[in-house]
């Protein structure tokens, strides 16, 4: 069954109402349980209310900030959505909860983490959401998979491409490219 969020959009499209679609770059990460299944579940959940256009390969990464935890699997996805940034955040958090995400420790272990990295060329600053993602330029685990599928996407504040920001990090260690997720 589709999320209730998606149904009104489908009905409007069927009636010929034009909807504005936005390109969104996501970062996904997991280090608990069946990590590949968690990523597949997250993509399936996202697919209930947006159109996933492209996904990156999966990378195994060492934890950043809080290092006393298991390695992560990280990937990126580009999607199209008609949802507002705020509605999209709410829908993402619903997917995370369905997959078992419990927010206990900042930068700690998690079943799934889905971040909105870029939302078109928009900048958004609210109490709940900051886009572009504030830490994207320092995170190889975000930039490496993102560069695989969206290397020419321009950051709306620093006017650098994803590929340029990755190059700015210098040599990247502690990331191992794994097999892409099976469809």
Mean of the per-residue pLDDT values for the chain? 85
Q: The CATH number of 6-174 is which of 3.60.9.10, 3.30.70.560, 3.30.420.40, 2.60.40.3140?
A: 3.30.70.560
Using one digit for the tens of pLDDT, what is the confidence trace for 101-138?
A: 777 777 668 889 999 999 999 998 989 888 888 788 88
State mean pLDDT over 46-67: 89
pTM: 0.86
Place of tokens 């060492």: 62
- Please list the active-site residues: 101, 110, 113, 115
Segment 5-39, tens digit of pLDDT: 443 445 445 555 556 889 999 999 999 999 999 99
């Amino acid at each position: 069954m589709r999320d209730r969020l998606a149904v009104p959009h489908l009905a409007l499209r069927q009636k010929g109402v034009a909807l504005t679609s936005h390109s969104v770059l996501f970062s996904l990460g997991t280090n608990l349980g069946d990590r590949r299944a968690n990523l597949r579940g997250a993509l399936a959940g996202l697919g209930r209310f947006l159109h996933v256009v492209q996904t990156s390969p999966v990378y195994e990464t060492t934890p950043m900030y809080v290092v006393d935890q298991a390695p992560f699997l990280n990937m990126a996805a580009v999607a199209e959505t008609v949802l507002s940034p705020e509605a999209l955040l709410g829908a993402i958090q619903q997917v995370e909860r369905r997959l078992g995400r419990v927010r206990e420790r900042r930068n700690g272990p998690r079943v799934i983490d889905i971040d909105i990295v870029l939302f078109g060329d928009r900048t958004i600053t609210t109490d709940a959401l900051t886009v572009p993602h504030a830490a994207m330029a320092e995170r190889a685990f975000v930039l490496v998979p993102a560069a695989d599928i969206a290397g020419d996407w321009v950051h709306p504040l620093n006017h650098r491409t994803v590929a340029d920001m990755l190059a700015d990090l210098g040599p990247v260690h502690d990331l191992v490219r794994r097999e892409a997720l099976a469809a």
